[in-house]
Amino acid sequence: MAQFVEFSGIYKAFPGVQALSDINFRIDGGKVTALIGENGAGKSTLLKVLSGEIRPDAGTLTINGEQVSFNHPNQAIKAGISVIYQERQLVPMMTVMENIFIDDLPANKFGILNRKELKKRTQEILDKFGLKISPTELVGRLSVAHQQMVEIMKAYRRNSNIIAFDEPTAPLMDNEIDTLFKIIEELKAEGKIVLYVSHRMAEIFRITDELAIMKDGKMVTTRKTAETTESELVSLMVGRDVGDTYKNLVRNDNIGEVMLDVKGLTTEAINDVSFQLHRGEVLGFAGLVGAGRTEVMRALFGVDKIVSGEISLEGQNVKFASPKEAIEAGVVLCPEDRKEQGLVLPRSISDNISIPVLDKLKKGLFMDKKAEIALADEGVARYNIKTPTIDKRTVELSGGNQQKVILARWTSAKMNTKILILDEPTKGIDVGTKAEVYQMVCDFAREGKGVIFISSELTEVINVSDRIIVMHDGHITGEVSRAEATEESILALAMK
């Protein structure tokens, strides 16, 4: 009998937000079903209902005709459900093999861990996924991309009948994505139930058979992938025609003098990196995973120790010993991993926006609460952050709205931001929000500030940037203008 999962009349509300409203939706085995919608549409909440992380307020979940109810994710796992979230659920201080087999570690008859068997089984999975990492490597030392692959391998190892992927390819490169898609095709051929959440349209049309479109916590409609178009999907998702995302951008046509001059920058991870950023310019950085783009920005931001080289900001030599010094000089960073490094998730939107300017929000010995509220309100309005209140905890926001909170922080009226560094700013956010972020980047440049824009999506970095620096193996291999750039030319430089 063919397998299926069915959601019937699912409702879920959080304070001030109706996250899910009367969701009726069936997923059949032997197919890949895409769940799509804008950030905040309710996709992640629905996945959490499936995984047992949250209980719905009303409605039922049925697997193969049998009604089920989970009080804890472990119950869902035992029922054959694996959900791979954007937020990795790994233990950094444990090894790759310990993370992959964390709930099924092989032991001898005395209950002692059989490390030899554990290593053997892990190596077999690593070989299947084509990963050149050691089973005994600590997960915390891996790149974001490799951590994501470990998360996927953990779910694959469980041999679950129901597998849901939430933005699985966001940190991955093309060869890793190809490997993942081969695995998904195998799961599909085995009759497994595969649910795939992504904002990348090319992936959706490449890998899925059916589509379910959500908006504002409701199921809008379902479609067969082969019978729809990208423009139709975008219109259903956002409720409007976003047109050509890049052609509609209002850019800065008045690029000025050099404001950042980097010469021979060298750290443990990068070698002899030199480039310039002009006032009012969006400077893109492209390259494969491990090319050194993030490491350049960490050095600029005072995180990684500089071995040699010079940094000049507005004609003055600088060398930041800490991010605090960089921020005070007007250099800020929106990190690739916004949840771990960019936000204080348990704190409110207001707290996250005001963190770097608390000293400017004091009235005598006390905080000027009115000024703090005004700052947060301005940020929420400017970036169209979807929230019922500025007191909402940041962890409860969608990925796109979390990204907007970081942007609101660094570009607030109380900040003296001169250079905005964006490391994968649109990772895991929907097409409508991407268009908003692109225009925010261009608006910031039009104010005469400098923007450094890192992205692994070549189409994005080509169309948003004025110039593109390409890196490989810790050094710069070339530079191209937006007018000259093609995906082929950038890839050629990225693989030099």
Q: How distant is the alpha carbon of residue 238 from its chain centre?
A: 20
Give the pLDDT of residue 243: 54
Q: By the 8 A CB rule, do 24 and 75 touch?
A: no
Count of beta carbons in the 10 Å neighbourhood of residue 1: 7
Q: By the 8 A CB rule, do 438 and 244 touch?
A: no
Q: Is 240 helix (H, G, I), strand (E, B) or coil?
A: coil
Q: Domain spanning 258-494: which superfamily?
A: P-loop containing nucleotide triphosphate hydrolases (3.40.50.300)
Q: In whole angstroms, give the CA distance from residue 495 to residue 471.
A: 9
Angle of helix 230-238 relative to helix 431-446, nearest 10 degrees?
80
Give the pLDDT of residue 241: 55
Q: In whole angstroms, give the CA distance from residue 209 to residue 184.
A: 12
- pTM summary value: 0.66
What is the residue extent of each domain of the chain?
4-238, 258-494
| Bridge pairing between strands 419-423 and 331-334 | parallel
In degrees, to the nearest 5, what angle opens at C-alpha 306 toward C-alphas 91 and 470? 80
Six-digit token pair at 420? 């905005």
Give the pLDDT of residue 199: 78
What class, spelled out in words, does domain 4-238 have in CATH?
alpha beta
Tens of each residue's pLDDT in the chain, 496 residues: 578 999 999 999 887 778 899 999 999 999 999 998 876 788 889 999 999 999 999 999 999 999 999 999 989 999 999 988 766 788 889 999 999 998 888 888 778 888 899 999 999 999 988 888 899 999 988 887 788 888 888 888 988 899 999 888 877 777 788 888 988 898 899 899 999 998 788 889 999 999 999 988 899 999 999 999 888 887 887 765 555 678 888 899 889 999 999 999 999 999 999 999 999 999 999 987 778 999 999 999 999 999 999 999 999 999 899 999 999 999 999 988 887 788 988 999 999 999 988 888 887 778 888 889 999 999 999 888 888 899 999 988 877 788 889 988 998 888 889 999 999 888 767 777 788 889 989 999 999 999 999 998 888 899 999 999 999 889 999 999 999 998 888 888 987 7
Q: In whole angstroms, give the CA distance from residue 328 to residue 278.
A: 20
Radius of gyration of the chain (CA): 23
Look-up of token digits 């409605």: 59
